[in-house]
Amino acid sequence: MMGMARVILRQNDGLAMAAEFPRQGCIIYESGMVAPGNAPGRANAFRYLDAMLALAAQQWFAARMGYTPVVDNAPLSGRAGRQLSPPDPKPRLVAPDYDHSSRVQNPVGAWWKKLISQG
């Protein structure tokens, strides 16, 4: 299993790879960028965030990294538009089970650390 953006990155590298949405639905994944409240130069941090939300930046992230724009004024066309358009019918979006995730996060992390240390 992998994120849609990773599939698009590999497609853009020339690999014959496709993604499918399971009939049960796909998990919503979000990641965010923020300016720390106590950051020196906060004004510059906000300028950086503004620049990342600009039309050209959002279209660049879509075309080069496979990320769907997070603003509603960044229409996509061409290859990025085809790659990031949801299939028809649109897949069911499923919110993560945060309660379950919080219970298994430490055991799963410990398993990965053990596996990596054996490397």
| Count of structural domains, the chain | 1
pLDDT digits (tens, 9 = 90+) for 36-54: 888 888 889 889 899 999 9
The C-alpha atoms of residue 47 and residue 87 are separated, in whole angstroms, by: 35
Q: Is the pLDDT score of 63 beyond 90? A: yes
- pLDDT, tens digit (0-9, with 9 covering 90-100), for 71-81: 989 999 999 99
Q: Are 45 and 103 in contact (CB under 8 A)?
A: no
Q: Which domain holds residue 61?
A: 4-118
Give the residue from 87, 77, 64 showing the smallest Cα distance to 18: 87
> Which pLDDT score is estimated for 114?
94
Cα(85)–Cα(72) distance, rounded to whole angstroms? 14
Among 67, 69, 62, which Cα is nearest to 4's?
67
Which tokens is 42 given? 């906060």
- pLDDT single digits (tens) 80-93: 999 998 888 888 98
Enter the pTM of the model: 0.69
Say if residue 119's pLDDT is above 80.
no
Instruction: Name, in order, each residue with C-beta under 8 angstroms of 29's C-beta and a sequence gap of 6 or more.
Output: 3, 96
